[in-house]
Amino acid sequence: MLAAAVLVAGLAACSAPKEGGGRDLSALTVGLATEPDTLSPLLGYGKDGNPKIFDGLLQRNQKLELEPALATALPEVSQDGLTYTYTLRQGVKFSDGTPFTAADVVFTYETILDEKSSNGSRDEIAAVESVTAEGDHTVVFKLKYPYAPFVERTVLPIASQKAAGGQDVDTGAYNTSPVGTGPYILESWRKGEKMVLKANPGYWGGAPEVKSFTAVFIPDDDVRATRLRAGELDGAVLPPSLSATFEKAEGTRVMHAESVDYRSVTLPTKNPVTGDKAIRQALNLAVDRELMVESILRGSGRPAYGPLPENNPWFAPETKVPHDDAKAAQILDAAGWKAGDGGIREKDGRRASFDLWYPSGDKLRQDHALAYASEAKGIGVEVKVQAGTWEVIEPRLGADAVLAAGGAGFDPDFDLYSTLYSGLIGSGWNNMGHYTDPGVDEALVAGRESDDEDERREAYTTVQQRFADNPGYTYLTHIGHDYVVSDAYEGLTTQLEPHDHGMGGPWWNLQDWSLPQ
């Protein structure tokens, strides 16, 4: 089953770096496209898996199977599916020497669930009614309803009550000076530039042999590729068009990771053009997704028709949308959008024209945006592509189109609810397209509150069918993730990855690498 990768997981097969011509292979420097806003799990950092500074109760191996981390085993689950009991590992300490106990687990989950915090991912554990400690080494979760994928959510990193308590969750020092139980400790963080992690000598899983991990934040894809060629980086994530230029380069190799990461265009209903259902339906038909995969992704990906990939067992195949300009034109004609100046359609004196934003320096999103604009022009819709920072883009989410991205995997609830549920509009980056459909909302709730697989499948099929008829986004592609890595390191592996692939990639199990003696 398709699932998203965690950022870091332990207890997996070790990689084996080789001698690198006198280089210190115990220090790794990689170039990443994005920088976290916070390092606090209380605000969502590492929620889909364990970042290197923290551990969750559970973690995932390379095959994405759940394994114990801070828990000693998978949970005991009551017959009614409402109670999950975890036994905790003893002898674990936070990096400041404080013992890890059940109280830290209770603190973490209760703080996230507190409506006073601005954690945009709170709804992901909304099924939790209570979390209690039974002594120092047992934690019991009681749910409001039998939330089928709950155990998947317990990869969430655990924060230190001592270090994070007694301060404002949104603005406190813990956001930039975290204390965790993970294999690495934050040494320094120069925002906008880089983050340096050092190995935790007291890590319960054994001190890592790679002693230093530096993440250099370089939003511009071309700059990242240039610095990699200059030897400033040991590895980097790159879009396919740039990773291809390293295929025959000496000293590096290209690694491909499958992902559930998608690119889509938000079509907010408050916009006077994209608010017209006919426009949204026509644009959905106008996109040649196969061509985008071939030309933009160089074959490293697949067409996207919604948040769930085609090969996901929950995908409703009848919602696959063909490329059909003729049908798109018929829909627009019937809705009163007639050809006007320059071939751009008009209705009631308004041109079929809207802005589409993408983040500056993101070549992959730029290429998708330009291709989308070209396809739209073919049916008489003008899409004006704009670049800007996220600070510029975020206030426009409800009115302008945005080249969006996402993809978590694991369970359909994780992708469909956060993307389409109307109650999450304005909650962080959830429901970026401000999508509203009462029937979709009803089915999403039914799917998440049932533990019967047939009922859930019916609900999520309904969601996809209604969305196909009333699309609030145009989904374009599910992209593969490409990495270029120094060939001084051998035996590296990847996992099936989510949208957020910053600390993932070939270094997902960095703490388990074995260096030559």
Specify the CATH number for the domain of residue 197. Answer: 3.40.190.10
How many Cβ atoms are within 10 Å of 198's Cβ, its own excluded?
18
pLDDT tens column, 23-36: 789 999 999 998 99
Cα-atom radius of gyration of the chain, to the nearest Å? 23
Same-domain status, 431 and 502: no
Rounded Cα–Cα distance for residues 49 and 59 (Å): 7
> Which residues lie closer than 8 Å to 6 by C-beta, 6 or more apart?
48, 49, 50, 59, 60, 155, 495, 504, 508
Same domain for 428 and 293: yes
| pLDDT tens-digit series, residues 381-399 | 999 999 999 999 999 999 9
Question: Given pLDDT bands bounded at 50, 70 and 90, which one contains residue 22?
Answer: low
Nearest Cα neighbor of 351 from 377, 375, 323 is: 377
97 plus 150 within the same structural domain? yes
Whether residue 186 lies inside any domain: the answer is: no
Residues 498 and 472 in one domain: no
Quote the percentage of the chain above a pLDDT of 90.
83
**Same domain, residue pair 402 and 282:** yes
Which H or E run contains 308?
none
CATH number of 270's domain:
3.10.105.10
Q: Is the Cβ–Cβ distance between 424 and 406 less than 8 Å?
A: no
Per residue in 167-210, pLDDT tens?
999 999 999 999 999 999 999 999 999 999 999 999 999 999 99
Among 175, 204, 234, the domain-final residue is 175
pLDDT category at 115 given cuts 50, 70, 90 is confident
Q: Quick check: 4 pLDDT over 60?
A: no
Query: In this predicted structure, what is the pLDDT of residue 498?
Result: 85
DSSP label of 24 = -
Domain boundary among 143, 175, 207: 175
- Domain co-membership, 345 together with 395: yes
Contact present, 422 and 291 (Cβ < 8 Å)? no
369 and 465 belong to one structural domain: yes
Does the residue 246 lie in any domain? yes
Does residue 7 sit within a domain?
Answer: no
Task: For the beta carbon of residue 205, count every other beta carbon within 10 angstroms.
Answer: 18
β pairing state of 83-87 and 128-133: unpaired
Say yes or no to pLDDT of 166 above 90: yes
pLDDT computed for residue 423 by the predictor? 94
Residue 478 pairs with which residues in a beta bridge?
262, 302
Q: Classify residue 181: in a domain, yes or no.
A: no
Rounded Cα–Cα distance for residues 117 and 39 (Å) = 15
For a pLDDT cut of 70, what percent of the chain falls above it? 95
Rounded Cα distance, 279 and 267, in Å: 9
Same domain, 73 and 142: yes
Q: What is the pLDDT of residues 71-96, one digit of tens each?
A: 999 999 999 999 999 999 999 999 99
- The predicted structure's pLDDT at residue 437: 96
* pLDDT tens-digit series, residues 454-473: 999 999 999 999 999 999 99
Least confident segment among 224-233, 243-252, 423-432, 448-457: 423-432
pLDDT given at position 7:
33
What gap in Å lies between CA 81 and CA 395, rounded to an integer? 41
User: Which amino acid belongs to residue 238?
Assistant: L
Nearest-angstrom CA–CA distance, 186 and 179: 8
Evaluate whether residue 9 is within a structural domain.
Answer: no
Could you give the 3-state DSSP secondary structure of residue 8? strand
Range ranked top by mean pLDDT from 8-17, 114-123, 226-235: 226-235
Tell me, yes or no, whether 74 and 100 share the same domain.
yes
Number of domains the chain is built from: 3
Closest C-alpha to 59, from 89, 91, 30: 89
d(CA 241, CA 433): 28
Overall average pLDDT of the 280-290 stretch: 98
SS3 state of residue 495: coil
pLDDT at residue 97 in the model: 97
Asked if the model's pLDDT at residue 10 lies above 90, the reply is: no
Rounded Cα distance between 353 and 331, Å, is 17
Q: Which of 121, 148, 175 is the last residue of a domain?
A: 175
Burial 314-333 (b: 16+ CB within 10 A, else e): bbbeebebebbeeebbebbe
Nearest of 75, 205, 81 to residue 140 by alpha carbon:
75
Residue 2 lies in a domain: no
Mean pLDDT, the chain, whole residue set = 92
Domain that holds residue 226: 25-35+191-254+482-517
Asked whether residue 182 is domain-assigned, the answer is no
- Give the whole-angstrom CA distance, residue 207 versus residue 199: 7
- State yes or no: pLDDT of 501 exceeds 70: no
pLDDT of residue 502: 52
DSSP string across 64-128: --EEESSBSSSPEE-TTS-EEEEEBPSS-B-TTSPBP-HHHHHHHHHHHH-TTS--TTGGGGTTE
Q: 232 and 91, same structural domain?
A: no
Look at residue 517 in the predicted model and tell me its pLDDT: 64
**Residue 451 tokens, joined:** 């533990």
Query: Is 11 among the domain residues?
Result: no
Look-up of token digits 């388990």: 512
Q: Are residues 294 and 427 in the same domain?
A: yes
What's the CATH code of the domain at 57?
3.90.76.10
Torsions phi, psi of 282, nearest 5? -65, -45
Assess whether 400 and 489 both reside in one domain. Answer: no
- Please state, in angstroms and rounded to a whole number, the distance separating the CA atoms of residues 49 and 307: 20
CB neighbours of 372 closer than 8 A, spacing ≥ 6? 265, 287, 356, 383, 403, 474, 476
